[in-house]
Chains A and B, each alone.
Chain A
Amino acid sequence: DGGITQSPKYLFRKEGQNVTLSCEQNLNHDAMYWYRQDPGQGLRLIYYSQIVNDFQKGDIAEGYSVSREKKESFPLTVTSAQKNPTAFYLCASSIMAGGIETGELFFGEGSRLTVL
């Protein structure tokens, strides 16, 4: 079935370590996104990418990095520079119709990162 796969679902890391969250989609979507969600709050945009080899910072990009070497993949690295990395991370992709984004985001099931 088509969809977005995030892994791992749960991840624990020690302070000072970098960690990479995987996001893969087989929907043939051009655009992909990373959001962060803290308990009881909405989602905040970290990075987004509309085409391969190009990506843009969202509202809270500091302490994070991404790459978009393949259309299907958009991994997120949480670096040691991120001061409060414990959160729920969500990856999404979106449909484009006639070169215009339609507004329908498809989300993965999320990765829950806990820094010990």
Chain B
Amino acid sequence: DAKTTQPPSMDCAEGRAANLPCNHSTISGNEYVYWYRQIHSQGPQYIIHGLKNNETNEMASLIITEDRKSSTLILPHATLRDTAVYYCIVSSNDYKLSFGAGTTVTVRA
């Protein structure tokens, strides 16, 4: 599976949009981009995934570049409860999802 690169940490203001970048320059054609988040000492929570097209659900939006080498997770109106570690994962099979160190997002009031 392709590797991903995420910034180790980022801050954002409560009520503003949070844009989380992820690079996956070695992604192959059949690999999906998945995003999960983990609030301290809990199990990770699925957010969204996509292949080529941009995706949106009640939690977030996923923007994938046309060449698929990078993506951005957008939390439209960040709240304090969105403080968590966010994982960007690329995989063709979910049972081989590899969770790296992720991005620690801190939402500040």
A residues whose Cβ falls under 8 Å from a Cβ of B: 4, 31, 33, 35, 40-45, 48, 50, 56, 59, 88, 90, 92, 94, 101-110
Query: Are A107 and B95 closer than 8 Å at their CB atoms?
Result: no
Q: Which residues of B contact A (CB under 8 A)?
A: 32, 34, 36, 41-46, 49, 87, 91, 93-102
CB proximity of B22 to chain A, nearest CB, Å? 14
Q: What's the Cα separation between A33 and B102 when bound, in Å?
A: 20
Distance in angstroms between the alpha carbons of A105 and B98 in the assembled complex? 12
Closest to B47 in A: A104
- Do the beta carbons of B42 and A105 come within 8 Å of each other? no
CB distance from A60 to the nearest CB of B (A): 12
Given that A103-B91, A104-B49, A104-B94 are contacting pairs, would A42 and B42 also be in contact in the complex, using a CB cutoff of 8 Å?
no
